[in-house]
């Protein structure tokens, strides 16, 4: 790595990949090969090839798109940078000046996001290696479920034992579910005694929560344990209920301490008001409600948001993020720090290519080199004032001083009532929320357009990918779940491209052209389906009818096809090995690449077209986190589980049965294989 940023005084260091020059030469040669393929197609069309003009023109159109899209993908590999933090310097300089941090955890449906899983994530972020008096955790429950509230109440009690236990023995990870699933009883007698006791407390809590979920109701004695259960006595439903805000742990209360007498982090439950006739703006609406109520309760300068299935895997994550945001020379330029997401249930050969390792280990570093990674919705540290709409100014520089804590002048009941008024359906009417303030509305991938808007206000962002993964969750375990997840992502990304937030239009003159290209890589996932579908079917049918669409192996025009296929394939598998994938994992990624483009992206494209003409409406589908034993068993053995029947699976079976022309399948796979 080539160092490009000083490390003598700063809190972080930036290095550039030394192999960049070699890659640029390689990319230039591939581009020349693509140009030669285009020349061949034009020559055949102008000469009046013996095969159908329409067929040849269609293949040429597909190859034009493949070449254009390949050109876009090069931006993500052109200038990758890698970051390294110095947490010891942060502690030496600013330990008594660390800012308040508010952590937002979002959940929506207890039937597919089990409360026991949700509270393990909550407990993992409550246990950060960070001053607890400066740490507050908020759970947004868009399902308005009393079971989720009950689970959080149980977590607030268990935290008194779990947090000091983690810090005393420096445990990793600090999600109790993840820790006890992989840990074995220690040999040390003192450690073992506490380990057994805390594990017993956790299992008893987990059993109570799961028993309540299985029963479908909470017994009366549980309702009597906290005043908050009164909110559910009016027969509310997930889509029709009043605003609910309950402060379960008040970090400013001297009596809110753990078993060792240390202050506990503030813990708050929120379920914003839902009414059937009001659009609630999905996760973006929940996040904006959390921004408002947290400003009244703790008002942390830094906001971390995580999905309910993405537990913290590194207790020092906050300090890593602050190394960038509090750096004396560069820190004032950065609006947010994005961490990668990983999964703890990935099989040995990543059967569904769920880890998206090439994106995480290669492409996101390339985006960082052009001024910032996109905001991916979880595992991201934001400056509160940036989310509140602040524009960047080179004359502004944040002072590293101790924030004055909010002076509490009202009791908790009054404070909760005020916070409820901030989460009603009508609060945002005729305001800038969802447009100028907070996360953006109007798109299923609100995180991406929010991050793009922040950069267009002059800010930069940081991508930090440390050796120890910071956030870990659950990957889909069936092919159907994988396809549905990617349909949702590609559908939302293409909506961005069709909207006023098109990276080339909205970002023109505001962000670097290379970053506009990087954003467009993901925004154009969906339309990639059409040329891929054509290239996977038409040449095969032409071959059956003895219609030649490709040059003979003896022809000189065969050379550019062979060169592009061989060199890009070799590079692709070499890159896969470099980032730690097996050959079989690489092959699985190629296979799932084709499945996504023929199914997920195709249906996403069609749905977006229907939305444009007003036939369809935007929806948000949550991937289930419920673990089925049979599905888990097949997944562990790397047996493909198709899941329930769907139209996406139907089209895959039809095309797979038809087969593909060997040259065409190799060509379009090779061009896309460096951007899976």
- The sign of the CA dihedral 119, 122, 126, 129 is positive
SS3 79: coil
Hey, what's the torsion of the CAs at 632, 635, 636, 638, to 10 degrees?
A: 170
Which residues make Cβ contacts (< 8 Å) with residue 457, sequence separation at least 6?
386, 390, 391, 392
State the burial class of residue 316 (Cβ atoms within 10 Å of its Cβ: 0-12, 13-18, 19+): middle
Q: Cβ of 465: how many Cβ atoms within 10 Å?
A: 18
- Helical axes 583-595 vs 479-498, angle rounded to 10°: 60
Q: Residue 447 catalytic? A: yes
CA atoms of 443 and 456, how far apart (whole Å): 18
Please tell me which residue in 141, 142, 327, 342 is annotated as part of the active site: 142
**Cα-only R_g, the chain:** 26
CA atoms of 561 and 553, how far apart (whole Å): 10
Contact assessment for residue 471 and residue 310, using Cβ atoms and an 8 Å cutoff:
yes
Q: Residue 552 catalytic? A: no
Instruction: From 305, 239, 243, 271, select the one nearest 147 (Cα to Cα).
Output: 271
How far is C-alpha 312 from the geometric centre of its chain's CA atoms? 14
In this structure, the strands spanning 81-85 and 244-249 are unpaired
Structure tokens at 62: 């597909």
Structure tokens at 17: 């990949």
In this structure, the strands spanning 81-85 and 12-16 are antiparallel
Structure tokens at 109: 């449906």
What's the Cα-to-Cα distance from 558 to each of 17, 71, 450, rounded to whole Å?
34, 22, 46
Contact assessment for residue 408 and residue 414, using Cβ atoms and an 8 Å cutoff:
no
Contact assessment for residue 334 and residue 461, using Cβ atoms and an 8 Å cutoff:
yes
269, β-bridge pairs: 139, 246
Contact assessment for residue 421 and residue 431, using Cβ atoms and an 8 Å cutoff:
no
Please tell me which residue in 206, 309, 368, 447 is annotated as part of the active site: 447
Instruction: From 381, 363, 349, select the one nearest 471 (Cα to Cα).
Output: 381
- Helical axes 479-498 vs 601-612, angle rounded to 10°: 40
Phi-psi region of 442 (alpha: psi -120 to 50; beta: other; left: phi over 0): left
CA atoms of 63 and 288, how far apart (whole Å): 43
CA atoms of 655 and 535, how far apart (whole Å): 11
Instruction: From 143, 264, 155, 141, select the one nearest 206 (Cα to Cα).
Output: 155
Residues with catalytic roles: 142, 447
């Amino acid at each position: 790595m080539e160092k490009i940023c000083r490390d003598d005084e700063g809190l972080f260091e930036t290095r550039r990949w030394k192999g960049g020059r070699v890659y640029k030469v390689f990319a230039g040669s591939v581009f020349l090969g693509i140009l030669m393929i285009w020349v061949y197609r034009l020559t055949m069309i102008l000469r009046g090839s013996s095969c159908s003009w329409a067929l040849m023109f269609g293949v040429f159109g597909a190859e034009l798109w493949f070449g254009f899209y390949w050109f876009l993908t090069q931006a993500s590999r052109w200038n990758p940078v890698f970051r390294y933090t110095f947490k010891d310097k942060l502690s030496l300089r600013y330990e008594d000046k660390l800012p308040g941090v508010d952590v937002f955890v979002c959940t929506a449906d207890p039937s597919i996001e089990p409360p026991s899983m949700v509270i393990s994530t909550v407990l993992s972020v409550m246990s950060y290696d960070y001053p607890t008096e400066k740490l507050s955790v908020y759970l947004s429950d868009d399902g308005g479920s009393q079971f989720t509230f009950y689970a959080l109440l149980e977590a607030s009690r268990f935290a008194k034992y779990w947090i000091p236990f983690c810090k005393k023995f420096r445990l990793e990870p600090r999600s109790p579910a993840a820790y006890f699933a992989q840990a074995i009883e220690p040999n040390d007698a003192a450690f073992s005694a506490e380990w057994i006791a805390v594990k017993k407390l956790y299992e008893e809590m987990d059993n109570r929560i799961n028993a309540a979920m299985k029963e479908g109701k909470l017994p009366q004695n549980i309702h009597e344990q906290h005043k908050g259960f009164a909110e559910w006595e009016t027969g509310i439903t997930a889509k029709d209920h009043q605003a609910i805000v309950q402060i379960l742990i008040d970090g400013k209360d001297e009596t809110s301490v753990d078993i060792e007498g240390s202050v506990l982090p503030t813990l708050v439950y929120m379920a914003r008001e839902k009414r059937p006739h009001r659009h609630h703006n999905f996760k973006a609406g929940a996040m904006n409600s959390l921004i408002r109520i947290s400003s009244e309760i703790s008002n942390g300068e830094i906001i971390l948001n995580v999905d309910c299935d993405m537990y913290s895997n590194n207790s020092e994550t906050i300090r890593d993020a602050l190394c960038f945001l509090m750096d004396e020379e560069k820190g004032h330029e950065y609006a947010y720090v994005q961490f990668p997401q990983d999964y703890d249930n990935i099989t040995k050969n990543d059967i569904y290519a769920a880890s998206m390792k090439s994106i995480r280990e290669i492409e996101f570093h390339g985006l960082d080199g052009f001024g910032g990674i996109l905001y991916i919705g979880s595992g991201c540290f934001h400056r509160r004032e940036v989310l509140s709409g602040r524009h960047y100014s080179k004359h502004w520089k944040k002072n590293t001083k101790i924030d004055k804590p909010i002076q509490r002048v009202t009791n908790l009941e009054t404070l909760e009532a005020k916070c409820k008024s901030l989460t009603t359906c009508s609060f945002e009417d005729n305001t800038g929320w969802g447009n100028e303030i907070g996360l953006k509305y109007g798109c299923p991938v609100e995180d991406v357009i929010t991050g793009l808007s922040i950069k267009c206000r002059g800010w930069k962002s940081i991508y930090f990918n440390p050796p120890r993964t910071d956030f870990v969750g659950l990957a889909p375990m069936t092919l159907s779940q994988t396809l549905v997840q990617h349909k949702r992502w590609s559908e939302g990304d293409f909506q961005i491209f069709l909207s006023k937030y098109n990276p080339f239009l909205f970002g023109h003159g505001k962000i670097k052209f290379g970053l506009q290209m990087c954003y467009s890589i993901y925004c154009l996932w969906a339309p990639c389906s059409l040329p891929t579908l054509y290239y996977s079917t038409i040449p095969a049918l032409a071959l059956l009818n003895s219609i030649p669409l490709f040059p003979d192996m003896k022809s000189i025009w065969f050379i550019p096809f062979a060169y592009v296929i061989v060199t890009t394939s070799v590079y692709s598998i070499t890159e896969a090995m470099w980032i730690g994938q097996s050959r079989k994992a690489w092959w699985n990624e190629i296979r799932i690449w084709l499945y996504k483009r023929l199914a997920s992206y195709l249906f996403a494209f069609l749905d977006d077209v229907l939305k444009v003409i007003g036939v369809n409406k935007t929806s948000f589908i949550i991937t289930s986190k419920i673990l089925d034993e049979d599905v888990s068993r097949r997944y562990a053995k790397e047996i493909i589980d198709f899941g329930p029947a769907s139209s996406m699976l139907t089209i895959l079976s039809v095309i797979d049965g038809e087969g593909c022309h060997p040259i065409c399948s190799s060509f379009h796979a090779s061009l896309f294989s460096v951007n899976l």
